[in-house]
Amino acid sequence: MSADGPPLHEALAPVTGLLGTFTGDGAGDYPTIDAFTYRETVTFGHVGKPFLAYTQRTVHPVTGAPMHAETGYLRVQPGGRTELVLAHPTGIVEVEEGSLTEEAGTTILTLVSTSLGRTATAKDVRSLRRRFVLDGDTLSYDLWMAHADTPETHHLAAVLHRTTG
Amino acid sequence: MSADGPPLHEALAPVTGLLGTFTGDGAGDYPTIDAFTYRETVTFGHVGKPFLAYTQRTVHPVTGAPMHAETGYLRVQPGGRTELVLAHPTGIVEVEEGSLTEEAGTTILTLVSTSLGRTATAKDVRSLRRRFVLDGDTLSYDLWMAHADTPETHHLAAVLHRTTG
């Protein structure tokens, strides 16, 4: 999971730039809630296999209280196909599939949920879509969500900067 | 995520004994594969909210090469109801639901999958069932799996011992 770890699996060559930790600030809104901001830390690691381990945590920008978290794996397939599997402490799991492209020196990862699982007590999230852009040491993303009667709507945006890697 | 962290959420009182790291040895078999053994590390942490963060990693007992991993959250609900949401780097996500009981000083957690999501390239896992038993500083578990044409069959068993907590 570090620079001292095993050699990188060759399938991860297109996502080498994601390895490390990124921190920064984000903002969220949605038709059914008040707008909010957050501070975020994202880490991508590897163990020598053809996937990245992904963890994400957000905290309140003033109090530092924990807000959201996610954890899972990004699987890199031939031809730029990518698969993201995640669990959320809100009782939701998701499978997202998409593609990885390079444009003018930036790496763009677009993913859309193909499966969502919910515990009996979880909120009624219907779909998620994400777009990550890595430009050097800056990782930004947008997230769109459909929830109950609300169709897919932009929900989150953040800009993070590499702090280790 | 540590003893120096935030106060434990009151909902976690029944699972306080899980907090920490456990290591030990396990064995797996299944009708379609050769039997195998593994060394495992499991960690349960918290951030002051009503769930535990769970990570699991196994390595080859001789070479130390990474084998399986899982990551997710255990949600504790009123009345002993529990919900486990996990992502696997094999491209699988799972929702398991069940109950937590105390019997003669041991804590028993039984969970069965209510939802399984798979990426396009994942293996055809159909269901999972787990039983964890915490007895003091010993955490043991069994896991049963249905896969493709194989009905639910015992797949994994391990006995782990607390190394930190």
Q: Do B53 and A72 touch (CB under 8 A)?
A: no
What CA–CA distance (Å, rounded) separates A101 from A91?
31
B51-59 and A51-59 as β-strands: parallel, antiparallel, unpaired?
unpaired
For testing contact with chain B, the best of A63, A85, A115 (most B CBs within 10 A): A85
Strand partners, A24: A40, A160
How confident is the model at residue B1, as a pLDDT? 45
pTM for the full model? Answer: 0.96
Query: What integer is the mean pLDDT of A54-73?
Result: 97
Query: What integer is the mean pLDDT of A76-97?
Result: 96
Q: Where are the domains of chain A?
A: 20-164
Assigned token pair, B137: 């500083």
Chain B residues contacting A, CB < 8 Å?
6, 47-49, 51, 53, 55, 65-66, 69, 71-73, 75, 77, 83, 85-89, 91-95, 97, 114-121
Q: Which residue of A has its CA nearest to B77?
A: A121
Pseudo-torsion of CA B35, B36, B37, B40, nearest 10°? -120
Q: Which residues are CB-neighbours of B96 under 8 A, at least 6 positions away?
A: B83, B84, B85, B86, B111, B112, B113, B114, B128, B129, B130
Residues of B in contact with A88 (CB under 8 A): 73, 85
CATH number for the segment(s) A20-164: 2.40.128.20
pLDDT tens, A19-39?
999 999 999 999 999 999 999
Query: What integer is the mean pLDDT of A77-102?
Result: 96
Half-sphere exposure of B87 (CA within 13 A, CB side): 32
Using pLDDT thresholds of 50, 70 and 90, give the confidence band for residue B165.
Answer: low
What is the per-residue DSSP string for chain A? --TTSSPPPGGGGGGGGG-EEEEEEEEEEETTEEEEEEEEEEEEE--SSSEEEEEEEEE-TTT--EEEEEEEEEEE-GGGEEEEEEEETTTEEEEEEEEEEEETTEEEEEEEEEEEEE-TTS--EEEEEEEEEEETTEEEEEEEEEETTEEEEEEEEEEEEEEE-
pLDDT tens, B44-91?
999 999 999 999 999 999 999 999 999 999 999 999 999 999 999 999
Strand partners, A123: none
Query: B75 in helix, strand or coil?
Result: strand
| Interface predicted TM-score of the whole assembly (ipTM), two decimals | 0.95
What CA–CA distance (Å, rounded) separates B159 from B152?
21
Q: Are A113 and A128 in contact (CB under 8 A)?
A: yes
DSSP secondary structure letter of residue B85: E
